[in-house]
Amino acid sequence: MVVYVSIAGDWLQGPYVYYLYSTYGFGKGEIGQLFIAGFGSSMLFGTIVGSLADKQGRRRACVTYCITYILSCITKHSPQYKILMIGRVLGGIATSLLFSAFESWLVAEHNKRGFEQQWLSLTFSKAIFLGNGLVAILSGLFGNLLVDSLSLGPVAPFDAAACFLAIGMAIILSSWTENFGDSSENKDLLTQFRGAAVAIASDEKIALLGAIQSLFEGSMYTFVFLWTPALSPNDEEIPHGFIFATFMLASMLGSSLASRLMARSSPRVESYMQIVFVISSASLLLPIITNVCSNISLSLCIYIYYIYL
């Protein structure tokens, strides 16, 4: 329950980040810098938050996620670039904690209570389907209600997100116990980085898998940044929350289909992932082809018009 509440605080913000910055008068270049700051912060702190959570406590890390993201939401009330930049850095830190501390706490608590191991995979399966699917869809629709239906302005979803995060933090503080990583396996960061570098250099498959994941994530983050200006190039009014909900619906369907495919012995994961990458590439190519065809049609119409004029 608490995970869904906490992750709702993240999903509520997604559709309106670019739109909010544009309403403050920032151009695509400045907004791009803000996005890069957030992604860069997540990349930088993502390498250390897992280790810190193991040492300082996973429950404490989850509370830190809530506090950090609440502070990030508060900064959205300011139109000042420096304040928004601080908010993006805080948001990047919070994202790193979201995708590490909660899962680590759950696994440790599951094992400590002696639950059956297959229940863990079932829990994660439901968390992906509900958290990354249903909760994300409802968050998009709720954000659309706040901004478009109730006309509360583009900062309203961030205020709602802060409320959900505060509720999640209260539940964590009142009902969760603390757990830590195995102290016998604790190593300093330099040792961990050195071990990772050795593993990448010694096994080509690990290096290739990292490259594939990075390229796919890079294209996804590019899409996250560009979908708002692509759909409203002339600042047209669009239902950001509703559009985001349709994205998340497609993601939920894809997750459901992937789980069914992985349950089968055939096709192999490597085979159907090739199909996934081809479909993803075709999807990103479609707007380019549509735009080129549109420009060609327009030029042809102008040419014909001048011929018959």
Per-residue model confidence as pLDDT tens digits over 109-161: 998 888 888 888 778 877 777 777 889 999 999 999 999 999 999 999 999 99
65 CB-contact burial (10 Å; exposed 0-12 / middle 13-18 / buried 19+): buried
Render pLDDT for 168-218 as a digit per residue (tens, 0 to 9): 999 999 999 999 987 666 667 788 788 888 988 999 999 999 999 999 999
Least confident stretch, 22-36, 82-96, 190-204, 250-264? 250-264
Which residue from 217, 241, 218, 221 is spatially nearest to 231, judged by alpha carbons? 241
Which pLDDT tens digit goes with each residue over 76-96? 999 999 999 999 999 999 999
Work out whether the CA dihedral 74, 163, 169, 97 comes out positive or negative: negative
Tell me the domains of the chain and their CATH numbers: 1-179 (1.20.1250.20), 203-308 (no CATH)
The answer to whether residue 295 scores a pLDDT higher than 90 is no
pTM beyond 0.85, yes or no: yes
Q: What is the model's pLDDT at position 223?
A: 93
pLDDT class of 4 with cuts at 50, 70, 90: confident
Q: What is the predicted pLDDT for the residue at 194?
A: 87
Does residue 306 carry a pLDDT above 80?
Answer: no
Q: What is residue 303's predicted lDDT score, i.e. its pLDDT?
A: 55
Crossing angle of the two packed helices 240-262 and 117-129, in degrees rounded to 10: 150
Rounded average pLDDT over 263-282 = 82
For the chain, what is the mean pLDDT?
88
Q: Give long-range contacts, CB 8 A cutoff, 24+ apart: 156-160.
A: 157/12, 157/13, 157/15, 157/16, 157/241, 158/12, 158/13, 158/16, 158/20, 158/73, 158/76, 158/77, 159/73, 160/12
Q: Give the model's confidence band at 275: pLDDT under 50 very low, under 70 low, under 90 confident, else very high.
A: confident
b/e sequence 137-165, b meaning 16+ C-beta within 10 Å = bbbbbbbbbbbeeeeeebbbbbbbbbbbb
